[in-house]
Copies of this chain bind each other. A is one copy, B any other.
Amino acid sequence: MADSPQYMTIGTVSKRTGCKVETIRYYERVGLLPAPVRSSGGHRHYDHDALKRLNFILRARRLGFTLDTVRALLSLADGEGESCVEVEDIAGKHLDEVRGKLEDLAALERVLTDMVARCRGGTMPDCPLIEALFEGGAAGRRDGWN
């Protein structure tokens, strides 16, 4: 468990990034991370660049980008393309999506809060929450849920 600062085992990378070992291997399999050098016994050894790249992926994933988008972002970062303009485009489209979801969630929070409030203090057989879900009321609004 004493890997040098420049060569880390997959377990160390996992601990440092908070990304599961299986997920790291998965990212390699789908081509997001390059295949690292191996020990004579076949164990993966990662350097600092790999750590940076993995952090990039994780950060982008946390921001809700799909793996395909992350792939595009990485190839831009790797130097293909005019960078900034394309990146802004990708991020801008993503931002629109995020704003839509945000609206939906806000509406949802209102509905749930309201439901729970009306529910509280009753063991009545006709639960207002179930009722609301069955009858609709304010639950709908934004369409397009195929």
**Residues of A near any B CB (own CB < 8 A):** 18-20, 52, 55-56, 58-64, 73, 76-77, 82-85, 87-88, 91-92, 94-95, 98-99, 101-102, 105-106, 108-109, 111-113, 115-116, 119-120, 122-130, 133-134, 136, 139-140, 143, 145-146
- Cα distance A16–B60 when bound, in Å? 38
A76 to B85, CA, bound (A): 53
Distance in angstroms between the alpha carbons of A123 and B73 in the assembled complex: 15
Q: Are B129 and A82 in contact (CB under 8 A)?
A: no
Given known A-B contacts A87-B127, A91-B119, A59 and B133 have beta carbons under 8 A apart: yes
A-B contact pairs, 19 of them (CB 8 A): A55-B136, A58-B145, A59-B140, A60-B133, A63-B108, A63-B139, A73-B130, A77-B127, A83-B123, A83-B125, A84-B123, A84-B128, A85-B123, A87-B130, A91-B116, A92-B116, A94-B112, A102-B102, A102-B109
